[in-house]
Amino acid sequence: MADNLLFLCKAGDLAPNSVRKVERPEGALAVYNLDGVFYATDDRCTHGLASLSEGEIIDGEIECNMHFGSFDIATGQPRQSPCSVPVKTYRIELRGDDVFAVLD
């Protein structure tokens, strides 16, 4: 297995339109299932010290539970203030039922 792949979850273990945190030493990631399409971002909000995986998914965006700003899950772009700095996104690779983030 390539060193730049991080196992996130089994596809069947993350319900549609939900998010979960995946811990790693370099910082946690949030993995999302939007109607069967998987995405991953850094878990930490760029505006504060909040965990995005504790937020709510609304129309393809993740709303931070601290100040209620939001980010586009697919692109990481801020959508609602006070968030103004994009959150890092990661390309997803599926191998069977396994969901991986490609770490660059």
Task: Give yes or no for residue 86 having a pLDDT over 90.
Answer: yes
The 3-state DSSP class for residue 54 equals: helix
Residue ranges with strand state E in 1-104: 5-10, 18-22, 29-34, 37-42, 56-58, 61-63, 70-72, 78-80, 89-95, 98-102
Q: Which domains does the chain have, with CATH numbers?
A: 5-102 (2.102.10.10)
- Please tell me the distance from the alpha carbon of residue 54 to that of residue 43, in angstroms, as a whole number: 9
Amino acid at 61: E
Instruction: Tell me the pTM.
Output: 0.93
Q: What is the pLDDT of residues 10-40, one digit of tens each?
A: 999 999 999 999 999 999 999 999 999 999 9
Q: What is the pLDDT of residues 32-76, one digit of tens each?
A: 999 999 999 999 999 888 999 999 999 999 999 998 999 999 999
